[in-house]
Amino acid sequence: MTAPQKPVLLTGASGNLGRVLARDLAAQGYTLRLTDLTPFPDALPEGATFTRADLNDGVTILQLAEGCGAILHFGGCSTDQAFETVLGPNIRGLYHIYEAARREGARVLFASSNHAIGFHERPQGNEARLDATCEFRPDSFYGLSKAYGELMGRLYWDKHGVENLNVRIGSSFPEPADARMLATWLSYADLTRLCARFIEAPKLGHAVVWGASRNPATFWGADHRDRIGWEPEDTAEDYRAAVENKLSGNPVVERYQGGGYTGTGYSRATPSPRDPFALED
């Protein structure tokens, strides 16, 4: 594969996924500009630079994006946090990313999350899987910020023509850790392949892809992966025997697609209806 001439900006480069992407994309020949609020903990990959920056600092983000053809946005709060903690990096920070993309004519891969739709119930038996056009049902302030981020991409595509890919990441770890991840696991290799396909895609528009490997137990169905020519190659089934009995024991957590995030601070006496506008099921 021939790497593009324009550099790629990777935010959140010091996080677990950012470090993997920095290493593997640099090895494929991409010129990377890495940034994070915390120092980069590894040896800097060949062809990469690192700048320590806060997503709230719009001027620095504009400077980092100058001349870039693509932005891989993995920065911000990556776990369930209080609203005030999420607000700055995940809301204001994302605005700075899209403003930079608009100015530079760059495309954006937004690391969204299954937590943007986490209060959809898990499919049972032959029930239909969610497709990419399903309603947002966030399960936390973190998930709410991801729904906001996808809508930001929608706005910037409709109003400014900024191409964007919203990857609703399931659970990206070296291997599945519990039974839920038989449906949601995304291998590091599949994530790297997805990002490379995004950078190389001739046309994109505004698109959503479920960020999960080739898992037969998946909660999710149709999306826009054909636009980037991505098909996952790994599968959580290789780990089934080790994790299929690792359940939370919490009926709320096991009912909903968002898993543990749905149970944090949960105060309803009965589950909300599947129809988000119904009074009761």
Give the span between the Cα atoms of 205 and 179, in whole angstroms: 35
Phi then psi for 264, rounded to 5 degrees? Answer: -70, 120
CATH number at residue 228: 3.40.50.720
Q: How many residues does the chain have?
A: 281
Phi and psi at residue 146, to the nearest 5°: -75, -40
Catalytic annotation present for 266:
no
Partners of 36 in the beta sheet?
52
Within a domain: residue 226? yes
In sequence order, the 6+-apart residues with CB closer than 8 A to the CB of 154 are 206
Contacting residues for 229 by C-beta, under 8 A, at least 6 apart: 197, 201
Please report the DSSP string for 175-214 in residue order: S--STTHHHHB--HHHHHHHHHHHHH-S---EEEEEE--S
268, part of any domain: no
Using CA atoms, how far apart are residues 37 and 157, in angstroms rounded to an integer?
A: 28
Q: Packing angle between helix 141-160 and helix 93-104, nearest 10 degrees?
A: 20
Q: pTM of the prediction? A: 0.96
Number of compact structural domains in the chain:
1
Is residue 270 assigned to a domain?
no
Sheet holding 70-73, edge to edge: 48-52, 32-36, 8-11, 70-73, 107-113, 164-169, 206-211
Residue 274 domain-assigned (yes or no): no
Which of 30, 95, 98, 142 does the annotation list as catalytic?
142
- Greatest extent of the chain over all pairs of C-alpha atoms, in Å: 57
pLDDT at 1: 46
Q: Determine, yes or no, domain membership for 3.
A: no
In a domain, 251, yes or no: yes
- Give per-10-residue mean pLDDT for the chain (281 aa): 76 98 97 98 97 97 98 93 91 97 98 98 94 97 97 98 98 98 98 98 97 98 98 98 98 98 96 89 76
The pLDDT value recorded for residue 280 is: 84
The pLDDT score that the predictor gives to residue 234 is 98
* Residue closest to 147 by CA, chosen among 227, 105, 72, 208: 208
Q: Domain containing 186: what range?
A: 8-263
Say if residues 141 and 82 touch (Cβ distance below 8 Å). yes
